[in-house]
Amino acid sequence: MSVNASPTTFPAWQSLAQLAALPQPHLRERLTQPGRSAMQAAADGTGIRVDFTRQAFDGAIQAALLQLAREAGVEAQRDAMFAGEVINTSEQRAVLHVALRGTPGATGNDAPWGAEIQRLVQAELDRVCAFADRVRAGDVKSSTGAVFTDVVNIGIGGSDLGPRMAADALAPLCSDGQTGLRVHFVSNPDAWALHSTLRNLDPATTMVIVASKTFTTQETMTNAASARRWLEDGGIAGSKQSAHLVAITAAPQKSGAAGYPEEHTFTFWDWVGGRYSVWSALGMPLALAIGAKAFREFLAGGQAMDAHFRSAPLEQNLPVILAMSGVWNRNFLNCPTQLLSCYPSRLVRFAPFVQQMDMESNGKRTRKDGQPADTGTGPILWGGLGIDGQHAYFQLLHQGTHRVPVEFVGVETEDTALPLAAEHHRVVNLNLRAQSQALAVGRSPADTLKALMAEGQTAEQAEPFVSQRSFAGDVPNSVLWIDQLTPHRLGALIALYEHKVFVQAAIWGINAYDQWGVELGKTMAKAMEQA
């Protein structure tokens, strides 16, 4: 079958529609089914496992979902991406962020994108890592001969969200704010965003990174011009600025014309989309924050998930499991939203990061063949920290009128240097497990009545409150467990979500790698400026 066809034409889709039309058991019933505990999978070498026992399907539905993936050509499309074929058809580009984390010196099946791309990627990676370590060691000096103490990364979208999220997640490896190199991030062109960052810094010891694919992005260029004026006002003017400026771009001729020195200019390619670019030179602020060795470990984690995605059978393939669970919830259970709930505080920016990756990729109403999508496509993805959410929007999840599937993310071990860290960690993960179970099973009116009577109320006293304190449950959810939050595991987690997005796009027949809606806003803002 054609990968551009509507998924509704696939026999497996029709089978799933028939299964969805049947009475669906409540999750509290599904959880008692024999073999339910087997609905778990792990990716070797990544430290990540997924518990999907609380998804609202059984073996027959799971088999049909996997058959849908086969009929949609997920495996063939996956192989085409890794081989560097043109899968971004609207822009006639390959999609090769996977090549950015390939093993140095790899050839053949370990580098299916080919020798030339492998050479280009590794050469630029070596430049990034060498520069990062030289700055951290104090070997790269400012115009005054001083060691850099601060780096300000100016970018927006993928040029900001990825490295900023990863720096938060890997905070124990970053500066403590008192010693070492401090890395800051500015994206919003609102004046306060830049001012609040620069006001406590010394221009003589500050490096400014300007990250823009085109080096024309309005928001980024506005902040860049203001940062350069700040350097000038601080005595770093004219040619002196060269030592303080770094450009990361796919248009080095434009950054060069703007005065950014060639030796401080790092490049990437048009086959790297912004939301998939943290692995490229755009990861420079992360490499500066955690060091080149840890940055390479981060890349290796992404590569480990790539290897799993390419080789694991669909039944045990983590990106496929997450993607097809989402397809079932979106298209057959008619749930238009998806919550991503992270329980480690260091993953505070992970949900917004994935939100961009997912909604910018799969927020499309037109298939690759130019025809309107006749199914729901990318869900409205939102979320944040789980513990905070429990005291806010989880009320809606438990008793609201929306059925919102959830993906929980937890870390199994904790190494924070705090005397009672183990107790903190126990409480966090206890809450995660409790919420996953509570959303699935809820609490029936009969059980609620028993609970109220156990509190000392009579049946007559309790009856008016039973409906208010009952919980429907039956909310599908999965739990992703990471064994530890290290650079390697974070890289694997990000790659897992990248591939999940890819699989869902393959099912729906849409192009996950353009973003014409984003471009429209940029175009209109430019037109208004010139009017």
SS3 track for 350-413: HHHHHHHHHHHHHCCCECCCCCECCCCCCCEEEEEEHHHHHCCCHHHHHHCCCCCCEEEEEECC
Whether the per-residue pLDDT at 230 is higher than 90: the answer is: yes
Confidence of residue 522 (pLDDT cuts 50, 70, 90): confident
Give CA–CA dist 269/88, Å, rounded: 14
Give CA–CA dist 464/467, Å, rounded: 7
Whether the per-residue pLDDT at 1 is higher than 80: the answer is: no
Convert the pLDDT of each residue in 436-493 to its tens digit.
999 999 999 999 999 999 999 999 999 999 999 999 999 999 999 999 999 999 999 9
Buried b or exposed e, range 205-231, using 16+ CB within 10 angstroms: ebbbbbbbbebebebbbebbebbbebb
Mean pLDDT, to the nearest integer, of 238-261?
96
- More confident: 1 or 414: 414
Whether the per-residue pLDDT at 91 is higher than 70: the answer is: yes
Give CA–CA dist 432/387, Å, rounded: 8
Beta bridge partners of 372: 366
105 contacts: CB under 8 Å, gap ≥ 6: 122
The answer to whether the CB of 442 falls within 8 A of the CB of 28 is yes
Query: What is the model's pLDDT at position 5?
Result: 79
Confidence of residue 176 (pLDDT cuts 50, 70, 90): low
Residues classed as catalytic: 360, 391, 522
Buried b or exposed e, range 453-467, using 16+ CB within 10 angstroms: eeeeeeeeebeeebe
The answer to whether the CB of 258 falls within 8 A of the CB of 215 is yes
Beta bridge partners of 245: 208
Query: What is the model's pLDDT at position 3?
Result: 59
Consecutive H or E run containing 153: strand 150-154
Query: What is the model's pLDDT at position 4?
Result: 65
Dig out the tokens for 86 from the structure: 């043109």
Residue matched to tokens 């025809």: 371
3-class secondary-structure state, position 190? coil
Has domain 108-292 been given CATH number 3.40.50.720? no
Comparing CA positions, the residue from 30, 34, 35, 19 lying closest to residue 327 is 19
Convert the pLDDT of each residue in 298-332 to its tens digit.
999 999 999 999 999 999 999 999 999 999 999 99
Comparing CA positions, the residue from 4, 1, 7, 6 lying closest to residue 328 is 7
The answer to whether the CB of 195 falls within 8 A of the CB of 233 is no
Whether the per-residue pLDDT at 179 is higher than 70: the answer is: no
User: Taken in order 82, 87, 93, 95, is the CA torsion positive or negative?
Assistant: negative
Pairing of strands 337-342, 406-411: parallel
Dig out the tokens for 420 from the structure: 């009672």
Give CA–CA dist 383/326, Å, rounded: 15
Convert the pLDDT of each residue in 254-289 to its tens digit.
999 999 999 999 999 999 999 999 999 999 999 999
Mean residue pLDDT of the chain comes to: 95
User: Taken in order 424, 429, 434, 435, is the CA torsion positive or negative?
Assistant: positive
Convert the pLDDT of each residue in 135-156 to its tens digit.
999 999 999 999 999 999 999 9
The percent of residues in the chain predicted with pLDDT above 90, rounded, is 93
pTM for the full predicted model: 0.96
Query: What is the model's pLDDT at position 526?
Result: 78
Dig out the tokens for 353 from the structure: 């990061």
The answer to whether the CB of 342 falls within 8 A of the CB of 382 is no
